[in-house]
Amino acid sequence: MKVAGTQYRTIWMDDTTGVVSMINQNALPFEFVIYHAPSYRETCMAIVTMITRGAGAIGAAAGFAMAQAFLDLEKMDTNSQIQLDFLNHAREEIEATRPTARNLFYATKRVYNAGLRSVAKALAEAQFLANENIADAKNIGENGSSLIKNGSRILTHCNAGWLGFVDYGSALAPLYIAKEQGKEFFVYVDETRPRNQGARLTAWELQNEGIPHKIVPDNAGAHLMSRGLVDMVIVGADRVAANGDTANKIGTFEKAIVAKEFGIPFYVAVPFSTIDFSLSNGSQIPIEDRSEEEVLTYTGPDKKGVLRTIRMASPGSHALNPAFDVTPARFITGFITEKGIFSSEEIIRYKK
């Protein structure tokens, strides 16, 4: 993806220095800032605080963090058991950062197993996963673009664009490929409270790509669909169970119910690395609870352009903040993957 004429990945790692660099999504869309994490703990912090976010980007960050932990071994003058204890503790720290995100566990395991053979293999595996992430996202885009026609009106929720992956994204990847194909369409961007990933990130991406769009309140979806203004819904996912039940940003389930009511296709765009075949259904997906401050406050620039956080809720009141909900497979029209578009019944056949 190009920003101001320069090609960027969302996240990348320098094998020589061990520094992981990433676009600071907390600063967008008001500032474009690169955050540098010199150690696995700082990469973990970036995941927890949502400096980097989105299923694919979290997976890449986790893989890089695990590789950074292996690099730390080269600085340790101690016995093999202490080194193994250090690695296992680091893996636990990484996997605790965003427990709903399947790609995090997928990447950590892959890099950990590679690193047990050598540090060089850990680094190579982390870089391979980042490149695989881009290839899968591009294939998702190419497969999903067939669903988009001239004049299509598409509703999306949260951010599953190139910022949510190393590049291209999942839910937005079909839009980017369709734009390259010369198709004209319109996107409704859910604001996606409480972190406003739609209003801040998806809208910024679409503006950057010159794709017509409008930001809409989260609770406007039913109104738009009832008026015949939406032709399809495309969202991403953080984890998909074997039966097709899908965990995505809170509010996704509501959109799926309404889409079903009005006969509007509802698609989930995911790479196969997001599918957790060890879970039989969505009730087994862990749901992350985040700080109530995300609900009670809002961050934005003041008149001088300085980012400030203000309280926007009643003083003294508390909030619940589940980060995800689970959409049952029966509400999902199909899954747009790097291997093709499948129903929930078909997807199990492609278990890796």
Residues assigned a catalytic role? 238
Whole-number Å distance between alpha carbons of 188 and 157: 9
Question: With contact defined as beta carbons under 8 Å apart, do 149 and 116 qualify?
Answer: no
Count Cβ atoms within 10 A of the Cβ of residue 288 and give its class: 0-12 exposed, 13-18 middle, 19 or more buried.
middle
Question: With contact defined as beta carbons under 8 Å apart, do 194 and 187 qualify?
Answer: no
Question: Which of 52-90 are b and which e, b meaning 16 or more Cβ less than 10 Å from the residue's Cβ?
Answer: bbbbbbbbbbbbbbbbbbbbbbeeeeeeeeeeeebbeeb
Whole-number Å distance between alpha carbons of 71 and 123: 9
Asked, as a colleague might, if the bond just before 29 is cis with ω within 30 of 0, I would say yes
For residue 206, is it left (φ>0), alpha (ψ between -120 and 50) or beta?
Answer: alpha
